[in-house]
Structure 1
């Protein structure tokens, strides 16, 4: 089977590719390499208007004539690569706006790629119309829009997710859903908004390529806490809450902890930068683990991330045994961190369980099997 995976966040599509290849399929990943993260793709689309004079020209033309040079450039590159983008049995878009183009151009690119291939699927991974409408209507107890409702940051901080509620993006959403064979969710944060949707095929766990198990066996010296920050998503990920929790912790346990903070670094640097850590602070406003959390858990780190009751029920787990649920309360996060510092045996136990969980539920080959089953289930 020939599979075309369109778009990339971290390495979710690339690990899926490797899993599918292990099962004997031919796979290509095309994408923008996820901004500053610079993740690997087979066909990389150049973003020619992100800095310098080209960016200024782009902004000016968009303001004066509503012309988007990035969108025109991406469509031109898609047409140039047509021979490498046709004749696939399965195509999967990672998002409704996989190329960060205007809705009109996204729609045109979608139609082109659909016309060149057989079945087309959508992955609900990253923000899209349904997940943002779900969050905007305040259906979950908290979401990435919670800091928006609380007035944190500027409107620019929320422009990326809120754009999906605009009429042109809503039209794009409807057009894509009308023309796909089905939609798949990558974790509970996308599964819950999609439940009972007629095009929803089910949940396929994020694929992770597992390293040989290497859990924490003993802790010598200070407990190392890692906090990776994407400044663009600072409030949406709850980094401000993590920083407040760390301030609380520093006052009580300064001599017992070491804190590593990194900001906006490429993916390959990021996953190496927390190797020495015992604890990783991932994100606050989620019900499930995203890709970074899973990779840290695969390395045996104790991760503060989404681990809500719905996730515990899904996997039949007890609280604080595999991951720590990071709720939007710095006092509570500091309390959980203190519990771990005072009970280092808990860090060792959770480290083992975290690796076991990722191996059991997110192995890239097992995940690839799940995707194939869901693709085959579509009419």
Structure 2
């Protein structure tokens, strides 16, 4: 098959591409790189006018002419490559806003992809209208909106997420869903809000390149290294504030037994390099399943604090703490779990080994690529 993957948020599409190519398919990725993360793409579109003096020009231009010149620039770049974006058997959007643009420009792109390729499919991956509405209606036990509900973040600071349920966003959502042939979820966080949707075909777990990511057995555990990677733009949404408070207590309690590595807003390649030496990785709190960073760390045998709720355990027939640690929005709970690992380093080895086996069984990139092919060929 000839496949076009549109957008990249976490390296999901890059790993999927690698799996598809191993199976003999022709694959192209078109994406913006996702801001500072700078993920690779075959066709890289650059976001312009988003920082410094150019951003002020952008704001002024929007006030005067009601035109977002960043969105216009992305659209112009997209259509410069139009001859390379036609004739695909399957097109997959990583999100209903794969380039983080909406309105007229987004519709031009989606319409072009629909008219010039056989099928268009959507991943429920990252924030979108359905998942944010589900969270806003408090249908999750907790969610990325919990900090907002708890008053940690005011409405203005949370505007970007709340805007996913605006009238304009709803219209965008409807337009995209008119064009797609199917939607699948990348993890259980998105299964929950999508499970009754007519175009929803279920969960296909995130693909992980288990050949590139080697298992790193722990040889020495005299000092436990804990890694905390912070995305400042999503500081409260990921629960980084809670992790930091728990780590402060752990540092005081086990000053001679732990080393804490904390980094902020690193490009993907630097982020990976930094956490390679860690035994424990703090990923995110308000989740039910693992995100991409967590899965890659688990593939290397790290003990990851991430989403591992009862829905996840039931789906994969796992026991609590078997392959990762469920990270709850509770400082005392996090301290208790971290203390348990520090005082029982053999558990770190055991969970790390289980994590690698879990990734190989359920997230291997070639197995997952095969599942996508089945979906695309059926639809």
TM-score for the superposition, normalised by structure 1: 0.97
**Structure 1 residue aligned with 2:370:** 369
- Corresponding residue for residue 83 of structure 1: 83
1:62 equivalenced with 2:75 (yes/no): no
Distance 1:159 1:343, change over 3 A: same
1:22-60 CA-partner distances (Å, limit 9, x unpaired):
111100000110110011111000112122322111011
Superposed displacement of residue 77, structure 1? 1.0
Give me the whole-angstrom Cα distance separating, in 2, the residues matched to 1:217 and 1:246: 22
1:206 alignment counterpart:
206
**CA offset at residue 156 of structure 1?**
4.8
Contact 1:147-1:235 within 8 A present in 2 as well: yes
Unaligned runs of 5+ in 2: none
Does structure 2 retain, via aligned residues, the 8 Å contact 1:104–1:172?
no
Conserved? CA contact 1:129–1:173, under 8 Å? yes
Structure 2 match to 1:129: 129
Matching residue of 1:9: 9
Aligned equivalents of 1:377, 1:251: Cα separation in 2: 56
Measured after TM superposition, the shift of residue 104 of structure 1 is 2.7
1:305 aligns with 306
Q: Are 2:269 and 1:271 aligned?
A: no
Instruction: Please identify, of 287-296 and 64-73, the stretch whose mean Cα deviation from structure 2 is larger.
Output: 64-73
Comparing 34-43 and 148-157, the one that deviates more: 148-157
Pairwise mapping of residues 178-257 of structure 1 onto structure 2 (< 5 A)?
178-210=178-210, 211=212, 213-257=214-258
Cα drift, residue 212 of structure 1: 6.1
CA distance in 1, matches of 2:99, 2:221: 46
Which residue of structure 2 lines up, in the alignment, with residue 261 of structure 1? 262
Range 124-133 or range 45-54, more displaced: 45-54
Q: In the superposition, relative to structure 1, how do residues 17 and 157 fare at CA in structure 2: closer, same or farther (>3 Å)? A: farther
Supply the distance in 2 between the matched residues of 1:214 and 1:282 (Cα, whole angstroms).
19
In 2, the alpha carbon distance for the partners of 1:130 and 1:102 equals: 16
Report SS of the residue matched to 1:227. Answer: strand
Contact 1:157 1:233 in 2 (8 A): no
RMSD over equivalenced CA pairs, Å: 1.2
Unmatched runs of 5 consecutive residues or more in structure 1: none
The answer for the alignment partner of 1:27 in structure 2 is: 27
The answer to whether the 8 A contact 1:132-1:162 is kept is yes
* TM-score, scaled relative to structure 2: 0.97
Shift of 1:301: 0.3
* Residues 188 and 311 in structure 1, CA contact (< 8 A), matched pair in contact too: yes
Q: Deviations over 1:278-329 (max 9, x none)?
A: 0000000000000000010011100000000100001110001100000000
1:88 partner SS: coil
1:323 aligns with 2:320: no
Is this contact kept in 2: 1:224–1:278, CA < 8 A? yes
Alignment correspondent of 1:114: 114
Secondary structure at 1:347's aligned position in 2? helix
Give CA deviations for 1:185-241 in whole Å, capped at 9, x if unaligned. Answer: 000001111112110011111111114653434333210000000000000000000
What SS does the aligned partner of 1:13 have? helix
Higher mean Cα deviation, 45-54 or 136-145? Answer: 45-54
Q: Distance in 2 between matches of 1:92 and 1:186?
A: 12
Which range is displaced more, 341-350 or 242-251?
242-251
Residue 150 of structure 2 corresponds to residue 153 of structure 1? no
Per-residue deviation at 1:168? Answer: 1.1
What is the CA deviation profile of residues 104-149 of structure 1, one whole-angstrom value per residue up to 9, with x for unaligned ones? 3212211112111110011111001111111110001000010011
CA distance in 2 between counterparts of 1:102 and 1:200 reads: 22
Residue equivalent to 1:355 = 356
SS in 1 for 2:158: helix
How many angstroms apart in 1 are the aligned matches of 2:195 and 2:12? 22
For 1:310 and 1:136, locate their aligned partners in 2 and report how far apart those are by CA, in whole Å: 20
> How many pairs does the alignment contain?
378
2:254 aligned counterpart, secondary structure: helix
Residues 156 and 17 from structure 1, CA distance in 2 versus in 1: closer, same or farther, beyond 3 angstroms?
farther
Q: Give the conservation status (yes or no) of the 8 Å contact 2:221–2:345.
A: no
